[in-house]
Amino acid sequence: MTKKLIASLLLICLALLPVCSLAAETLNIMNYGDYIDDQIIYDFEKEFGVRINYSTNDTPESMYTKLQTGVSYDVVVTSDYMIDRLIRENRIMKLDKSIVTNLDQLSDQVKNLYFDPDNDYSVPYFWQNVVLCYDTTKIDPEKVEEKGWSILHDPELEGHVFLYDSPRDIFMMALKALGYSMNTESRDELTQAYDWLVKMNQTIHPSFVSDEMIDGMAQGEKWMAMMYSGDATYASMENEKLTVWAPLDGTNIAYDNMFIPANAANPEMANRFINYVLDYPNSKRNTVLTCYTSPNAKVIEDLTAPGGEFEGIESYLPRSGYDKDEIYTDNELLRTETPELLVKVKLQ
């Protein structure tokens, strides 16, 4: 009996193992979860004869931890302020622009960002901004547009709001509502933002959640949510009552870029993959499936034009060129203080 059991267990292992070890050339990619059309991976594998090991993470911080463990990735997608930090820490390899030739397809709105002025180190993958996504049958659009972020101080919304449980984003909202920069270095402004948030929490008792708000809004659980525009696009395509508004107080424009870590094992193939993803047909199917905004100028133009997949979906194209909108910087004060302050806000 025991022998048979052990023998059968060994057989199962043997049957499962070979698939893991047989591979010629491999490419290790790390991205956010649900952030790609899987078909792109399979097609790239076929075309270039490599095997892609694909991993996912949920925040730039957990990606950073993974990089620090010394695991070698070839292509990583992460957010602007984290790339800023990684470039300064010399953890990023320069792109090989003789391979990445599709840079010229990029929209001007996403090129040459502050942390990487000539796109020497990173290339935009998706971009979005933080918006208020709300149910027009429950809240009057005029009121939202007039009040901006301060609508979250309106007692009528009590119990009907989702907020994204991310310290930087929550404090961005408060700082913008008060007219400050979301990358402030001033403790005084931070304290005022804290007070603003305490008052908000006591007035509307929002639910601090994470990605479950996307399905929650799509299914009409709450009236309003502070969301990333790509998620809002998805939710508003599922639920027609939803619309979005980027408050005139200003908001965060977020760029998620691809880069090649300094310890990449296969940089040449990594450059090819980056170039492949930027190309019009691939960028198009990627954005259509995920609803996040493509950095490819022609893709944006075609999809928002009459007859395009995202025609009339306001959240698809993030506002750009508005001087109150900013991009996150790797700011030490905010990085270290906001998580603790947010916990305190929730306790009030």
Partner 1 sequence: MKKRRAPKVLSSAYLIIVLLFIYLPIGYLVLFSFNEGKSMTNFSGFSLKWYESMFSNRMMIESIRTTLIVAVVATAVSTVVGTVAAIGLSKAKRIVRSIILEVNNLPVMNPDIVTAIGLMLLFISVKFQLGMLSLILSHISFCTPYVILSVMPKLRQLDDNVAEAALDLGATPFKALTKVIIPQIYPAILSGALIAFSMSLDDFVVSYFNTGAGINTISMYVYSMKRYNLSVNAMSTLIVVVVTLILILANLIPWIKDKKTQKEET
Could you list the residues that contact partner 1 (CB under 8 A)?
2, 6, 9-10, 12-13, 16-17, 19-20, 26, 28-30, 32-35, 38, 42, 52-58, 65, 69-73, 211-212, 214-215, 219, 231, 234, 238
Least Å distance, CB 179 to partner 1, is: 32
**Which residue lies nearer to partner 1 by CB, 220 or 308?**
220
**Which residue lies nearer to partner 1 by CB, 47 or 215?**
215
The CA distance from 23 to 32, in Å, is 24
**Which residue lies nearer to partner 1 by CB, 146 or 215?**
215
Instruction: Map residue 230 onto helix, strand or coil.
Output: helix
Distances (CA, A) of 8 to 4, 17, 19: 6, 14, 19
Instruction: Map residue 211 onto helix, strand or coil.
Output: coil
Least Å distance, CB 305 to partner 1, is: 26
**Which residue lies nearer to partner 1 by CB, 28 or 109?**
28
Side chain identity at 132, as an amino acid letter?
Answer: L
Name the residue with tokens 């395509």: 237
Instruction: Map residue 210 onto helix, strand or coil.
Output: coil
**Which residue lies nearer to partner 1 by CB, 126 or 196?**
126
**Which residue lies nearer to partner 1 by CB, 202 or 219?**
219
Q: Running DSSP on this structure, what letter comes out for residue 108?
A: G
Characterize 81-99 residue by residue with b for buried, 16 or more Cβ atoms within 10 angstroms of its Cβ, and e for exposed: bbbbbbbeeebbbebeeeb
The two tokens of residue 2 are 């025991």
User: Residue 263 CA to chain centroid, in angstroms?
Assistant: 24
Least Å distance, CB 153 to partner 1, is: 29
Nearest C-alpha neighbor of 337 from the set 152, 179, 165, 194? 194
Least Å distance, CB 75 to partner 1, is: 11
The CA distance from 140 to 341, in Å, is 32
> What is the CA angle 295-297-302, rounded to 5?
110
**Which residue lies nearer to partner 1 by CB, 145 or 238?**
238
